Amino acid sequence: MWPSAPANVIAALTAQPGLENPPWLQPGYDAYSAGWHAVERGDEAAAIQANEDPHRRYRHGVTLLMQAAARDFRALVQDLIGRGAGVNAHDDRGESALLKAVGNFKASLAVVQILVEHSADQLDESADRALRSGAPEIAEYLLSRGGRATDPNLLLKAARNGWTNVVSLVLAGGADPNFRQAQGGTPLMWAAKAEIIDLLAAGGGRRFRGAGGKWRYSAHAGMRERRKVEGGSAVTTQRKPECAGLSSELRLRTRIARNRGSRSI
């Protein structure tokens, strides 16, 4: 191929019937609009004033609504929807404005609510993405509006992070409380709160025996309670002080030995 093809060849390959001078061959041609550039530089007011075509597609099939949702421009999102922008239009990757809004590192619940209230689709995918990105409020809202967490690992993540309402909604959506990771972990083993233990137990969560034949309990680092499940109900027992009666040095050495799997001190 040519490093840069001759203009007449490009024109022959790209010209449309009846279009002798394609605009993309004209000097200074810009594939993006003034509204798009305003969004890119963070000027929401200028993007609204540009009054761009809400149906226009840019590179990779992205619309201005998708870009505005990804940038958390609430007023622009409302303006575009009010002028007929397709809430459920998908780009070349199959993503809608809602999915892009949730994927934003500073995702806004307000933008998500606007899109969902206008019948946005991809609720399941958006709920999964919100959980993966650590946005429990958005995930909780999407799950409460009919979304379902399709990735079983996300129940474990919600339990580990102490997202009680999210755990309840994920379980209500049919998630398996006894799902086991490749490493053997389950939501019950990693539950961060006693109420999450109750929810998992009520949903059918059970203990599993570890490699040494011992029952596995919740092992969250921030908890001071040992949790076990007996007969389908959660029981919380106070953990005994570790290495009681030993000096601080011996306690430290005991913990190190335990972590190494050794019995010697």
Q: Per residue in 183-210, pLDDT tens? A: 777 888 888 888 888 888 888 877 655 5
Secondary structure element (H or E) that encloses residue 190, with its range: helix 187-190
Q: What is the CATH number of the domain that holds 99?
A: 1.25.40.20
Query: Measured between alpha carbons, how far is 93 from 62 in angstroms, rounded to an integer?
Result: 9
Q: Which two tokens stand for residue 84?
A: 């007929």
Amino acid identity of residue 49, one-letter, is: Q
Q: For residue 75, what pLDDT is reported? A: 96
Query: Measured between alpha carbons, how far is 157 from 131 in angstroms, rounded to an integer?
Result: 8
pTM above 0.85, yes or no: no
Residue with tokens 């079983």: 152
Residue 7 lies inside a defined structural domain of this protein? no
Residue 226 lies inside a defined structural domain of this protein? yes
User: CA 260, 185, 233, 158: dihedral to nearest 10 degrees?
Assistant: 120
Q: For residue 231, what pLDDT is reported? A: 42
Cβ–Cβ under 8 Å, residues 92 and 61:
yes
**Chain segment 33-83, per-residue pLDDT in tens:** 889 999 999 999 999 999 999 999 998 999 999 999 999 999 999 999 999
Residues 214, 111 share a domain: no
> For residue 84, how far is the Cα from the chain centroid?
28
Q: Which two tokens stand for residue 10?
A: 């490009």
Query: Measured between alpha carbons, how far is 132 from 186 in angstroms, rounded to an integer?
Result: 17
Residues 223, 141 share a domain: no
Residues 236, 146 share a domain: no
What 3-state class would DSSP assign to 233?
A: strand
User: What are the CA-CA distances from residue 85 to residues 89, 177, 183 (Å)?
Assistant: 8, 40, 46
What would the mean pLDDT of 23-36 be, rounded to a whole number? 71
More confident residue, 53 or 6: 53
Number of domains in the chain: 2
Residues 141, 52 share a domain: yes
In sequence order, the 6+-apart residues with CB closer than 8 A to the CB of 258 are: none
Residue 175 lies inside a defined structural domain of this protein? no
Residue 48 lies inside a defined structural domain of this protein? yes
Residue 103 lies inside a defined structural domain of this protein? yes
Residue 94 lies inside a defined structural domain of this protein? yes
* Domain termination residue (choose one: 102, 135, 151): 151
What 3-state class would DSSP assign to 156?
A: helix
Residues 205, 88 share a domain: no
Q: Which domain holds residue 87?
A: 23-151
